[in-house]
Amino acid sequence: MTIRSVFATVFISIASAASGADTVVGTWKTENGETSAIHHCGPNYCIVAKSGRYAGQQIGFFSGTGDTYTGRLTDPRTKTIYSGRLVLSGNSLKLRGCATRVLCKTQTWIRLN
């Protein structure tokens, strides 16, 4: 096996692993400067506050694939649950929580890892 074929094999293996990865999973910096983590919880995804006053609390539960996810967001201050939508674009994640169709709030988080 030549050096060239070894590099080609390694490159293909890395590319295959990256394409199968869940791009929404990871640690994110919120608009207020704190961090939250998105991880698998069963076949879905959970958002857990990692820093700040509400560290350790689950603040979201979503399902979906690719770059769009739907579910619910919880305001940890009031424990109010909102319908939510996440849209992933590169290293930014736009979260939108709505109490009704017209009463919505949007935040953009930035990937840390």
Q: What is the CATH number of the domain that holds 85?
A: 2.40.128.520
- pTM comes to 0.77
Instruction: Count the domains in the chain.
Output: 1
* Token pair recorded at residue 105: 């709030």
Q: Exposed, middle or buried by CB within 10 Å (0-12, 13-18, 19+), for 84?
A: buried
**pLDDT at residue 22 in the model:** 73
**Tokens 């791009």 — which residue?**
23
Residue 62 lies in a domain: yes
In a domain, 7, yes or no: no
- For the stretch 4-28, pLDDT in tens is 332 333 233 333 333 345 799 999 9
Asked whether residue 64 is assigned to any structural domain, the reply reads yes
> Please, are residues 25 and 104 in contact by the beta-carbon 8 Å criterion?
no
Neighbours of 56 (CB within 10 A): 8
Cα–Cα distance for residue pair 9/13, rounded to 1 Å: 6
